[in-house]
Amino acid sequence: MMRLTGLLTATVLLAPPLMAHQPVLPDAGQSFTRAAPYVVEDPETSKAIFATLTGAPHYYQISSPVAFDFYVGITAPRMEGCRLPQTFSFELLDENFNRVDRRDGTRYTWQPWYEEFGRKWYWRGPEIGENFQSDRRARAGTFYLRVFNASNTGQYVLAVGDDEKFPPAVIARSLRIMPSINQTFWNEEDCIPES
């Protein structure tokens, strides 16, 4: 186990900057509602939050007592020979849930993208930022993200932040959750063949 942890640590440290997001797999009972949104801790730290819409939009809360570098983007798992089952859109909302920005996944050309660190293919969707990096500062305060599509169904990955941090606890958690993420989000049974 120590050897594997050391190898993962070395890989993370040597990974290109836009390749390393901390994987996050929310608990099965995690709330994503407007009344009880998923709270994104430390919004500048890069995270890849793996989630599934099950009939309602997902809400995320992002708060900071100081101005911060802001990045958010959305991707979806991609399997060879399978088409993107549905697209995803998101809105950035202020503390009163008024729309500040919107990224419409139905009007975006989703592109295949290979993430070298995790060795997985994704469909890369819209982002606020560029190439997985922040291109703006957000004011201090609270913001919300609303992730949705026409049917409010499907698996997506929400990327937030662009500052790569991999302390030992994150590495240990990553080793523990990646098999479940791979099995759930790259399940061949979910493949809709390309036509």
pTM of the model: 0.85
Query: Where is 179: in which H helix or E strand?
Result: helix 168-185
Angle between the N-to-C axes of helices 2-14 and 168-185, in degrees from 0 to 180, rounded to the nearest 10: 90
- The answer to whether residues 160 and 49 touch, using CB atoms and an 8 Å cutoff, is yes
195 residues of the chain, pLDDT tens digit each: 445 444 444 444 433 333 467 899 998 889 999 999 999 999 999 999 999 999 999 999 999 999 999 999 999 999 999 999 999 999 999 999 999 999 999 999 999 999 887 789 999 999 999 998 999 999 999 999 999 999 999 999 999 998 776 677 767 777 788 888 988 999 888 888 987
> From CA 63, how far away is CA 86, in angstroms rounded?
29
- Give the chain's largest Cα–Cα span: 49
